[in-house]
A and B are shown apart, each in its own frame.
Chain A
């Protein structure tokens, strides 16, 4: 018993230290998502032009659903990647759709005029659709496949490389 006790005391703090080390090496920016792999929540929202639009009504193999706002600085950073996506995938079955997050249509129009880009953006009164998608903040982008299932979710500003990789993998999965 005495010998056992002599070993036990120095060993005891090891699990606690291991737990602490695990916690301290996590990236606090990486947040869990319960919705990836699930069916995308259906919505019926109004575009800035005043038309009604539903997710089910979108005729595209891949939908890139981007939550953004004109007041959001990282949204400016990712904007060129989205502009490029609309140009590169112009002939493909890919649809980029913006969802305005806690912003006014006037602000969004000014943003688009200033930074370019002609894809559609829908309004989300009461942030209901953003909450339905489990959005933490903007920008956040959801890659929705042909079965209207959320295949990937990206938190923070998108880069062209990330966007292309995810869209291409969904296009090839759909084409196979």
Chain B
């Protein structure tokens, strides 16, 4: 039951929104009409100012549009119906945020696709760069290749020849003998 609590809270938070989407059964109070008309006006572009919403604009036409929105909501129309009325008159242009359908989908999908593509490109590039750094010692340049491995053992080969140290860190007799041999060979 405790696990369901966040779900219940979420449902309560979403409830007014979903109620608005349907037909408004009950008559709205003046405050509700105010709130809703401001919400719709904020979504519509002012035909005079163009870069401002109907709510922000102080042009005469925007003010009249606000009163049309208010009257339509007060007469029982839903915010969706009011928006549809303006789209029917001015086209999709009137909506500040285009509906995510048809060609408009590009506006929403293109940035995400570009980000994904760029991210993937970056990921493979970085992987190639770091991969190249790690594998560099393995691939020795052709000019530096040692023709006879016995004549001069490489660092790797010498390390392989080294007997492993004891668990307590001290040297065994065998190891000491090996070191003496090595020093002798240098002299």
Knowing A102-B60, A127-B60, A137-B61 touch, does A32 contact B91 (C-beta < 8 A)?
Answer: yes
Knowing A34-B90, A131-B89 touch, does A126 contact B61 (C-beta < 8 A)?
Answer: no
Chain B residues with CB under 8 Å of A134's CB are 89-91
Mark contacts of A32-46 with chain B using CB atoms, 8 A cut-off: 1 yes-contact digit, 0 otherwise: 111100000000000
Which one of B64-72, B157-165, B168-176 is at the interface? B64-72
What secondary structure prevails in chain B residues at the interface with A?
helix
Pair A131/B88 contact, Cβ less than 8 Å? no
Pair B47/A133 contact, Cβ less than 8 Å? no
* Residue A136 is within 8 A (CB to CB) of chain B in the complex: yes
* Residue A110 is within 8 A (CB to CB) of chain B in the complex: no
Pair B89/A34 contact, Cβ less than 8 Å? yes
* Residue A176 is within 8 A (CB to CB) of chain B in the complex: no
How far apart sit A32 and B87, CA to CA, in the bound complex (Å)?
Answer: 11
Task: Give the interface size bracket for A toward B.
Answer: 10 to 19
Contact of B68 among A33, A102, A131, A137 (CB under 8 A): A131
Task: Give the interface size bracket for B toward A.
Answer: 10 to 19
* Residue B48 is within 8 A (CB to CB) of chain A in the complex: yes
Chain A residues with CB under 8 Å of B68's CB are 126, 128, 131
* Residue B178 is within 8 A (CB to CB) of chain A in the complex: no
How far apart sit A130 and B47, CA to CA, in the bound complex (Å)?
Answer: 12
* Residue B108 is within 8 A (CB to CB) of chain A in the complex: no
- Chain A, 124-149, CB within 8 A of any chain B CB: 126-128, 130-137
How far apart sit A133 and B87, CA to CA, in the bound complex (Å)?
Answer: 12
Q: How many A-B residue contacts, CB cutoff 8 Å?
A: 47
Chain A proximity of B103: nearest CB distance (Å): 12
Chain A residues with CB under 8 Å of B61's CB are 102, 127, 130-131, 135-137
Chain A residues with CB under 8 Å of B64's CB are 102, 126-128, 131
Tell me the nearest residue of chain B to A8, going by C-beta: B121
Pair B47/A34 contact, Cβ less than 8 Å? no
Pair A131/B60 contact, Cβ less than 8 Å? no
* Residue A20 is within 8 A (CB to CB) of chain B in the complex: no
Knowing A126-B64, A127-B61, A128-B68 touch, does A137 contact B91 (C-beta < 8 A)?
Answer: no
How far apart sit A13 and B47, CA to CA, in the bound complex (Å)?
Answer: 33
Tell me the nearest residue of chain B to A137, going by C-beta: B48
How far apart sit A33 and B88, CA to CA, in the bound complex (Å)?
Answer: 9
- Chain B, 75-112, CB within 8 A of any chain A CB: 87-93
Q: A34-B87, A127-B60, A135-B47 are known contacts; what are 11 more A-B pairs with Cβ within 8 Å?
A: A31-B93, A32-B93, A33-B90, A33-B91, A34-B89, A35-B89, A127-B64, A128-B68, A131-B61, A131-B68, A136-B47
The 9 closest A-B pairs by CB, nearest first: A134-B89, A34-B91, A127-B64, A136-B47, A32-B91, A134-B90, A32-B93, A102-B60, A131-B68
